[in-house]
């Protein structure tokens, strides 16, 4: 016991003194109530104000006049203040100079790692590996917490079905079922057991509430117009899953939804989030989104925007300078009820108590722990493991895995030696220079006389001066590893694109290299699907490696050499052309679905393209093969209060051990409203040795079949259903059952 006390150190002393002063341990609710009772109106408003600083407080931040506000208790939270030393200094001002000594909450976008950068979220979604996704966020939280942070603005759980939208990179893809599973895993990773007893967990934030990913024409920050049905069936489920996992905070979207900007949307924040889901945390606005309502045109001025946002349920104002100047007066005039203000402030204070900040405001700001934690070797190892599990093998004629002994390898292409491209967008405090690139990884594997590198060109621009050298390098090699795709500036926030063909001179580079006549393994570095129809015939194999993070190079090398047998599966439908977008597997059935013959005209089709995608949702190859057979149901009927088992036998029928993501889809054949042709309702990632077989069992319950019915209630309807089991959304094994 003694040694435990010694280890707990300062935090315990704070706790002890708190207990000593009051004579008893009070509940968080009591402590919040007592504090609220002491606060002036202005101090309450201060808790709902968040400012950003990218600078040290001794530098330009002082000029920005945040410090005087801090001393008056006029700031509740800061974003972009990072580092154990820096957070400690800011915290010191708040707790030593303000009347009530209320600590600040420090937030940052820790999107796919803090210093050790994991693959982008869309990539990790492709791993379909919930345990490892959770582990990645646990590591991100451990590093962020050691750098003084309390709160990440993640996970982004926006469903996205339009790859023109650059932020598709930040989410889990197109599917609400997979997206919900990933939302749960990521919240659990960041928040641990939700007790915040350890300094290795931080608050998570489900964003951007809601339907931000449905931006019209794939244009970031643009308007959205989705039906309540689409909202409830497609866009909201991952948010609800985050609430069920205990997520501490939400962030409102920039977009307007059905005519009301999300930051003033009472339907979302009050009716659904608090009313239907019972959320008890707080909602922060997106950056200046209260102010942006003036441009949306639903309010004439900042004072009124503040009134609308507060009354709709938005608790904290990030960077709008709206709540600070206007909220106190609005409460005094009765335009915002005091009870609403108290509810918002209590929610913020509760999080500060839960994090233990009143007991030790510097609990997270520990320079020694920071030094020992960032980029720990085990963190890098986990990043490498998740990066290789996120790679998706899209094509392989047998060129992969590479047979390296004696082979001369030419690594060609932009990004192959760029740490920045490897770590991708939103990389918190990750450094490109700390990444092990593919060039470094292959150079470490191969003797110098077997390895050459030529960038050939950049991802953008029109400099073709390197193409000839790239072709020469290909000619002198036995096999070419060619990186193409997008760099970190072409993906992420505010990177909408109207063409998803390979940008800049990349297609010319591909043609030059192809002309050398050597087998080509394409390694695609990208944050979204790019158009590959004209590319595929020119290459032998394709590994989709995304922006793979700090250990991306060794991870890709593991896949190329077969040290790791790829197991990733697409978390979205891959279009043939941008003209097919939006394209997703869970579409509705047309009344005229299939032409009967080539001359049939009036059918739902394109006259210049198939309607099918290039690769279906859930698709990904392996160096081995998997057979599916013996699909069986435990009964022909699922009772409304019962369950039904769906079992299938999977066999690794190829020569290597490997992992397979077994996927279960359901179709509701007749509903009170039309239903998607298939919906993912289960998946399991299994490992099988060569020749090994295993039964995988899924259990379906009526709740799994629920949807937003014609009478605008949520539930399943009796009738006939079809199940499909297989390795992607085209799964062919099928059976039927009835729900009664």
Kindly list the catalytic residues.
286
Shortest Cβ 126–ligand BGC spacing (Å)? 21
Contact 509, 473 (CB under 8 A): no
Contact call for residue 109 and ligand BGC (CB under 6 A)? yes
Shortest Cβ 527–ligand BGC spacing (Å)? 15
Q: Where are the alpha helices (DSSP H) in 550-607?
A: 552-561
Shortest Cβ 91–ligand BGC spacing (Å)? 20
Contact string 66-105 vs ligand BGC (x = CB under 6 A): -------------x--------------------------
Measure CA of the first residue to CA of the last residue in the chain; give whole Å: 58
- The residue (of 122 and 443) whose beta carbon lies closer to ligand BGC is 122
**DSSP code per residue over 511-523:** HHHHHTT--EEEE
Distance CA 282, CA 208 (A): 14
- The residue (of 322 and 559) whose beta carbon lies closer to ligand BGC is 322
Contact string 261-290 vs ligand BGC (x = CB under 6 A): -------------------------xx---
Residues 6+ apart with CB under 8 A from 183: 155, 157, 172, 206, 238, 239, 241, 242, 245
Contact call for residue 429 and ligand BGC (CB under 6 A)? no
Instruction: List the structure tokens of 702.
Output: 């009526």
- The residue (of 138 and 207) whose beta carbon lies closer to ligand BGC is 207
- The residue (of 77 and 437) whose beta carbon lies closer to ligand BGC is 77
Distance CA 214, CA 223 (A): 8
Shortest Cβ 421–ligand BGC spacing (Å)? 21
**Strand ranges, E, within 526-643:** 541-544, 626-633, 637-638
Shortest Cβ 231–ligand BGC spacing (Å)? 20
- What separation in angstroms does the CA of 459 have from each of 71, 507, 522, 574? 48, 10, 15, 21
Distance CA 192, CA 195 (A): 8
**Binding residues for ligand BGC restricted to 674-693, rule: CB under 6 A:** none
DSSP bridge pairs for 318: 50
Instruction: List the structure tokens of 366.
Output: 């520990």
Contact call for residue 617 and ligand BGC (CB under 6 A)? no
Contact call for residue 207 and ligand BGC (CB under 6 A)? yes
- The residue (of 153 and 196) whose beta carbon lies closer to ligand BGC is 153
Residue count at the site for ligand BGC (CB under 6 A)?
A: 7
Contact call for residue 250 and ligand BGC (CB under 6 A)? no
Shortest Cβ 675–ligand BGC spacing (Å)? 33
Shortest Cβ 75–ligand BGC spacing (Å)? 16
**Longest Cα–Cα distance in the chain:** 87
Shortest Cβ 122–ligand BGC spacing (Å)? 15
Contact call for residue 619 and ligand BGC (CB under 6 A)? no
Our CA angle for 418, 373, 118, nearest 5°, is: 35
Contact call for residue 106 and ligand BGC (CB under 6 A)? no
- The residue (of 109 and 660) whose beta carbon lies closer to ligand BGC is 109
Contact string 32-71 vs ligand BGC (x = CB under 6 A): ----------------------------------------
Question: Tokens 């049939």, residue?
Answer: 600
Contact call for residue 603 and ligand BGC (CB under 6 A)? no
Question: 706-734 as b/e, with b when 16 or more CB fall inside 10 Å?
Answer: ebbeeeeeeebbeeebebbbbbbbbbeee
Contact call for residue 112 and ligand BGC (CB under 6 A)? no
Contact 425, 547 (CB under 8 A): yes
Distance CA 117, CA 123 (A): 12
Binding residue for ligand BGC, selected from 153, 546, 698, 707, defined by CB under 6 A = 153
- The residue (of 252 and 565) whose beta carbon lies closer to ligand BGC is 252
Residue nearest to ligand BGC (CB): 153
Distance CA 679, CA 682 (A): 9
Q: Whats the size of the chain, residue-wise?
A: 740
Distance CA 459, CA 510 (A): 12
**Binding residues for ligand BGC restricted to 481-520, rule: CB under 6 A:** 493
- The residue (of 253 and 571) whose beta carbon lies closer to ligand BGC is 253
Contact call for residue 427 and ligand BGC (CB under 6 A)? no
Q: What residue ranges bind ligand BGC (CB under 6 A)?
A: 79, 109, 153, 207, 286-287, 493
């Amino acid at each position: 016991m003694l040694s435990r006390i010694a280890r707990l150190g300062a935090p315990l002393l704070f706790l002890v003194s708190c207990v000593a002063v009051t004579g008893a341990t009070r509940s968080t609710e009591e402590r919040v109530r007592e504090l609220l009772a002491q606060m002036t109106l202005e101090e309450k408003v201060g808790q709902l104000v968040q400012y950003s600083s990218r600078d040290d407080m001794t530098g330009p931040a002082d000029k920005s006049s945040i410090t005087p506000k801090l001393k008056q208790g006029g700031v509740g939270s800061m974003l972009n203040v990072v580092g154990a030393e820096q957070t400690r200094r800011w915290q010191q001002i708040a707790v030593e100079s303000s009347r009530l000594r209320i600590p600040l909450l420090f937030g940052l976008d820790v999107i796919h790692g803090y210093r050790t950068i994991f693959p982008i979220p869309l990539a990790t979604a492709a791993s379909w590996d919930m345990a490892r996704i959770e582990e990645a966020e646990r590591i991100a939280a451990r590093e962020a917490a050691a750098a003084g942070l309390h709160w990440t603005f993640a996970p982004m759980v926006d469903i996205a079905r339009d790859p023109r939208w650059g932020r598709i990179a930040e989410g889990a893809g197109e599917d609400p079922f997979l997206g919900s599973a990933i939302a749960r895993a990521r919240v659990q990773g960041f928040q641990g057991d939700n007790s915040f007893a350890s300094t290795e967990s931080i608050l998570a934030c489900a964003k951007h509430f809601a339907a931000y990913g449905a931006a019209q024409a794939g244009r970031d920050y643009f308007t959205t117009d989705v039906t309540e049905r689409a909202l409830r069936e497609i866009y909201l489920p991952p948010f609800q899953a985050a609430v069920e996992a205990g997520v501490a905070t939400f962030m409102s979207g920039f977009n307007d939804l059905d005519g009301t900007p999300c930051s003033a949307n009472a339907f979302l924040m009050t009716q659904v989030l608090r009313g239907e889901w019972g959320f008890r945390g707080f909602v922060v606005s997106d950056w200046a989104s209260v102010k942006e309502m003036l441009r949306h045109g639903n309010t004439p001025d900042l004072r009124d925007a503040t009134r609308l946002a507060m009354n709709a349920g938005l608790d904290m104002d990030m960077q709008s300078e709206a709540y600070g100047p206007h909220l106190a007066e609005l409460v005094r005039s009765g335009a915002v009820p005091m009870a609403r203000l108290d509810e918002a402030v209590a929610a913020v204070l509760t999080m500060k108590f839960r994090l233990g900040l009143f007991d030790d405001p510097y609990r997270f700001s520990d320079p020694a722990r920071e030094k020992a934690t960032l980029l720990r070797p085990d963190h890098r190892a986990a990043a490498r493991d998740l990066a290789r599990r996120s790679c998706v093998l899209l094509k392989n004629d047998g060129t992969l895995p590479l047979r390296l002994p004696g082979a001369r390898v030419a690594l060609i292409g932009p990004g192959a030696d760029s740490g920045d491209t490897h770590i991708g967008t939103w990389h918190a405090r990750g450094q490109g220079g700390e990444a092990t690139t593919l060039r470094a990884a292959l150079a470490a594997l191969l003797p110098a006389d077997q390895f050459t590198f030529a960038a050939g060109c950049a991802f953008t621009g029109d400099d073709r001066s390197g193409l000839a050298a790239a072709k020469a390098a290909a000619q002198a090699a036995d096999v070419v590893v060619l990186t193409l795709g997008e760099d970190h500036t072409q993906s992420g926030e505010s990177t909408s694109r109207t063409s998803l063909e390979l940008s800049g001179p990349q297609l010319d580079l591909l043609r030059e290299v192809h002309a050398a006549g050597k087998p080509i393994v394409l390694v695609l570095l990208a944050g979204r699907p790019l158009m590959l129809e004209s590319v595929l015939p020119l290459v032998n194999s394709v590994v989709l490696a995304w922006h793979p993070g700090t250990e991306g190079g060794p991870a890709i090398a593991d896949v190329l050499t077969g040290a790791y047998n790829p197991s990733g599966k697409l978390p979205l439908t891959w279009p043939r052309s941008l003209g097919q977008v939006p394209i997703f597997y869970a579409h509705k059935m047309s009344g005229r679905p299939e032409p009967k013959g080539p001359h049939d005209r009036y059918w739902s089709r394109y006259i210049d393209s198939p309607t099918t995608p290039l690769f279906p949702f859930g698709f990904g190859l392996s160096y081995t093969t998997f057979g599916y057979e013996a699909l069986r149901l435990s009964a022909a009927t699922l009772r409304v209060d019962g369950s039904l088992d769906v079992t299938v036998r999977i066999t690794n029928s190829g020569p290597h051990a490997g992992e397979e993501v077994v996927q279960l889809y359901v179709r509701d054949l007749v509903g009170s409203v039309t239903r998607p042709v298939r919906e993912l309702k289960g998946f399991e990632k299994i490992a099988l040795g060569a020749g090994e077989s295993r039964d995988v069992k899924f259990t379906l319950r009526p709740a799994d079949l629920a949807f937003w019915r014609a009478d605008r209630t949520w539930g399943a309807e009796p009738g006939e259903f079809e199940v499909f089991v297989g390795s992607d959304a085209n799964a062919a094994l099928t059976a039927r059952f009835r729900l009664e």
